[in-house]
Amino acid sequence: MLKPQLHAACLAFVEQRMATCQAAIDAAQESANSETKSSAGDKYETGRAMAQNERDRNAVQLHEAKQLLGELQRIDPARPCDAVRPGALVTTSMGRFYVSISAGKFAIDGVDYFAVSGAAPVAQALSGKRAGEQVTFNGKPVRIEAVA
């Protein structure tokens, strides 16, 4: 059962990303809170503004990570797929793809799998196709060997 393993790896990726963003938000808030008013008032305001900007930037990244989590939660890795769609594990002549979220490469039992978003160009090219079909991606023919 590869799909549940890949799904779990994607969940771990998102949870790590969320934890990192939350830690950065907390650190920026702590930095802003610890700025003390000095005789150089502009320095104080600049430090607080920089900390606020950092906090805001990480808050946006946290929001994006929560959206990825939502996308993953809509996928049932136990559900078999006969065509390429979110949740499909696709073996092609150019690699193996888990259509879910953009999380990069995972190695399971020495085999590389790429977690890609349904909006990724490769997923768009493969979308709706079945095992045995062929598509053209980046000017090259790609054969779909299996869809699970």
Chain segment 14-24, per-residue pLDDT in tens:
999 999 999 99
Q: Closest Cα to residue 132, out of 146, 117, 114?
A: 146
Q: Do residues 70 and 113 share a domain?
A: no
Domain count, the chain: 2
Reduce the DSSP state of residue 135 to 3 states and report it. strand
Separation of alpha carbons 91 and 69, rounded Å: 24
> Which pLDDT belongs to residue 31?
81
> Which pLDDT belongs to residue 82?
95
Q: Do residues 9 and 70 share a domain?
A: yes
CB within 8 Å of 48: residues ≥ 6 apart: 32, 35
Question: Is the separation of the CB atoms in 115 and 6 below 8 Å?
Answer: yes
Q: Which two tokens stand for residue 73?
A: 């939660």
Q: pLDDT tens digit string along 28-66? A: 888 877 765 554 556 657 778 888 899 999 999 999 999
Q: Closest Cα to residue 101, out of 134, 123, 79, 125?
A: 123
Mean confidence (pLDDT) of the chain: 92
- Structural domain that includes position 18: 2-74
Given 74, 94, 120, which residue is the final one in a domain?
A: 74
Question: Would you give the DSSP letter of residue 109?
Answer: T
Given 74, 98, 115, which residue is the final one in a domain?
A: 74
> Which residues pair with residue 111 across a beta bridge?
108
Q: Whole-structure pTM over 0.85, yes or no?
A: yes
Q: What is the mean pLDDT of residues 54-82?
A: 95
Q: Do residues 13 and 70 share a domain?
A: yes
Q: Do residues 9 and 65 share a domain?
A: yes
